[in-house]
């Protein structure tokens, strides 16, 4: 009798485990579906044969073994811990862990930050276009060289998120809009549309879709020079695209997924993308940055009308927007120019320890795409909400008005609070130039 009870209990547990595992595998599109189906068949055979039959006992044991393998033998990548409420962040290690971040020991930036309010010296702008292209496309150069090239071009180079041989880029007879943009006249914003399958798109097809979406003033420009890329012109902005028949580097995809807090079936679909299309928006220094972001969003939406787009990655921000959420971002950005930062800028939060215990660092990712420094806020844990508000106000300020904060001076935010300003290196990877602010204890509030 005891063997009957044991057989029934083990069979029931196995059946529940198999069904729950099958449902979970089916929803997340894993290859374990087949294993769970085999285990289900074995459980059915075990019940049909009964505990007295050797085949029944072997079938039940085999089903339990398969479920044990599925349960203990499969490992999944763990998401990084959340650093901003409602989102995840890629792993980042302190670059200056041994030094007190709150005081003045963070190394000062090796060179000033240039943007609208801090023009570069004349000699920096005399760099010829060929050397600029070589610098931007050389992914193996040292970090300092890459940062100098990004500053000189003022184009927020995002090519490091795309694995392409430098030699192929330099010999391309028809360079992309991103490669053709020059720092003294144009900035190029690149976003990446991940595709479910390989799909070839032309500018004329994208143009027709954009016109149907209401951008009637858009027109196609095809230069006679084969070394100059064709593009769609919309007022003072240009839209171009590059089609790639391979997936984006997995590490970059995982970073974007973690930073955006996307998991489950949506994350699996993103990981399984087959190809991608890079959409470039080039604009001059007189064009408002939010206009470039909105055009990028609308170009992405136009592409989604006919191409199998799963999601769009904003490389500099490590931000990922699912195709199903694109319309919401467009509506929010058109209604409020300050809302464009939700698409092109990410926020991160880090708790410090050691000499810095009790402090929190908030920073932004993504402003480098516009030739701007990111923001970094250092504040006590007890004033965390104030730190979040400060970061968001600064990122909106930089995007809308440029970086005009005085290095070594004071800056007042909208709530009247006073903050000390310093231009420095980022405390956490990726290494980049940031404008760091911390509460001004000598003059905490407005007069």
> What's the Cα-to-Cα distance from 12 to each of 18, 20, 65, rounded to whole Å?
10, 12, 15
Please give the full DSSP string across 294-331, using - where no structure is assigned: HHHHHHHHHHHTTS-EEEEEEGGGTEEEEGGGHHHHHH
pLDDT for 318 beyond 80: yes
Choose the final residue of a domain: 301, 319, 343.
343
pLDDT for 75 beyond 50: no
367 CB neighbour count, 10 Å cutoff: 27
Q: Which residues pair with 181 in a beta bridge?
A: none
My answer on whether 65 and 205 are in the same domain is no
Domain interval for residue 212:
131-343
Any domain includes 120? no
My answer on whether 185 and 321 are in the same domain is yes
What distance in Å separates the CA atoms of residue 87 and residue 262, rounded to the nearest whole number? 8
> What's the Cα-to-Cα distance from 350 to each of 256, 346, 384, 387, 437, rounded to whole Å?
18, 14, 11, 12, 15
The tens digit of pLDDT for each residue in 20-58 reads: 777 766 654 455 677 778 878 888 887 787 767 778 778
Supply the mean pLDDT for the chain.
75
Of the CA atoms within 13 Å of residue 289, those in its CB half-sphere come to: 30
My answer on whether 191 and 336 are in the same domain is yes
Any domain includes 97? no
My answer on whether 23 and 137 are in the same domain is no
Any domain includes 100? no
The answer to whether the predicted template modeling score (pTM) of the entire model surpasses 0.75 is no
Question: For the chain, what is the domain count?
Answer: 2
pLDDT for 329 beyond 70: yes
My answer on whether 169 and 311 are in the same domain is yes
My answer on whether 139 and 64 are in the same domain is no
Cβ–Cβ < 8 Å for 437, 421 = yes
Query: How much is the average pLDDT of 114-129?
Result: 35
Choose the final residue of a domain: 72, 98, 120.
72
Any domain includes 361? no
Cβ–Cβ < 8 Å for 102, 356 = yes
Any domain includes 407? no
My answer on whether 241 and 136 are in the same domain is yes
My answer on whether 178 and 47 are in the same domain is no
Query: How much is the average pLDDT of 332-344?
Result: 85
My answer on whether 37 and 184 are in the same domain is no
My answer on whether 150 and 290 are in the same domain is yes
Residue 345's nearest CA partner among 401, 291, 394, 382 is 394
What distance in Å separates the CA atoms of residue 93 and residue 91, rounded to the nearest whole number? 7
- In which band, very low, low, confident or very high, does the pLDDT at 332 lie, cut at 50, 70 and 90? confident
272 CB neighbour count, 10 Å cutoff: 12
Any domain includes 404? no
Any domain includes 357? no
What's phi and psi for 408, nearest 5 deg? 85, 0
The pLDDT assigned to 319 comes to 92
My answer on whether 160 and 40 are in the same domain is no
Q: Which residues pair with 434 in a beta bridge?
A: 374, 424
Please give the full DSSP string across 332-357, using - where no structure is assigned: HHHH-GGGGHHHH-EEEEEE--GGGT
The pLDDT assigned to 24 comes to 66
What's phi and psi for 239, nearest 5 deg? -120, 125
Residue 188's nearest CA partner among 234, 239, 243 is 239
My answer on whether 301 and 155 are in the same domain is yes
- In which band, very low, low, confident or very high, does the pLDDT at 99 lie, cut at 50, 70 and 90? very low
Any domain includes 353? no
Choose the final residue of a domain: 45, 72, 99.
72
């Amino acid at each position: 009798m005891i063997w009957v009870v044991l057989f029934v209990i083990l069979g029931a547990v196995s059946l529940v485990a198999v069904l729950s595992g099958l449902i979970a595998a089916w929803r997340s599109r894993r290859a374990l579906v087949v294993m769970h189906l085999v285990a289900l068949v074995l459980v059915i055979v075990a019940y049909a044969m009964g505990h007295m039959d050797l085949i029944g006992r072997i079938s039940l044991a085999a089903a339990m073994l398969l479920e044990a393998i599925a349960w203990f033998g499969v490992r999944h990548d763990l998401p990084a811990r959340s650093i901003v409420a409602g989102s995840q962040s890629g792993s980042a290690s302190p670059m200056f862990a041994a030094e007190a971040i709150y005081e003045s020991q963070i190394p000062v930036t090796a060179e000033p930050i240039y943007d609208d309010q801090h023009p570069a010296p004349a000699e920096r702008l005399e760099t010829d276009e060929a050397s600029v292209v070589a610098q931007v496309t050389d992914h193996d150069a040292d970090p300092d060289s890459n940062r100098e090239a990004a500053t000189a071009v003022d184009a927020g180079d995002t090519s490091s998120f795309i694995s392409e041989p430098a030699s192929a880029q330099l010999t391309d007879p028809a360079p992309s809009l991103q490669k053709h943009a020059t720092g003294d006249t144009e900035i190029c914003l690149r976003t990446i549309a991940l595709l479910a399958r390989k799909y070839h798109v032309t500018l004329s097809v994208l143009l027709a879709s954009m016109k149907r979406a209401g951008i009637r003033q858009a027109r196609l420009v095809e230069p006679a020079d084969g070394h100059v890329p064709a593009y769609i012109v919309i007022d003072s902005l240009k839209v171009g695209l590059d089609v790639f028949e391979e997936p984006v580097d997995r590490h970059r995809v995982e970073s974007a997924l973690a930073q955006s807090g996307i998991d489950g079936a949506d994350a699996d679909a993103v990981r399984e993308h087959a190809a991608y299309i890079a959409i470039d928006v080039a604009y001059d220094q007189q064009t408002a940055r939010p206009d470039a972001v909105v055009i990028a969003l609308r170009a992405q939406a136009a592409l989604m009308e006919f191409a199998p787009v799963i999601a769009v990655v904003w490389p500099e921000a490590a931000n990922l927007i699912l195709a199903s959420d694109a319309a919401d971002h467009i509506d929010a950005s058109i209604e409020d120019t300050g809302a464009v930062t939700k698409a092109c800028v990410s926020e991160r939060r880090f708790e410090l320890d050691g000499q810095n215990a009790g402090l929190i660092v908030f920073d932004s990712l993504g402003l480098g795409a516009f030739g701007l420094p990111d923001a970094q806020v250092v504040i006590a844990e007890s004033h965390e909400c104030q730190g979040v508000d400060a970061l968001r106000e600064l990122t909106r300020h930089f995007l809308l008005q440029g970086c005009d904060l005085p290095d070594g001076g004071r800056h007042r935010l909208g709530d009247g609070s006073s903050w000390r300003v310093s231009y420095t290196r980022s405390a956490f990877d990726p290494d980049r130039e940031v404008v760091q602010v911390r509460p001004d204890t000598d003059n905490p509030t407005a007069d």
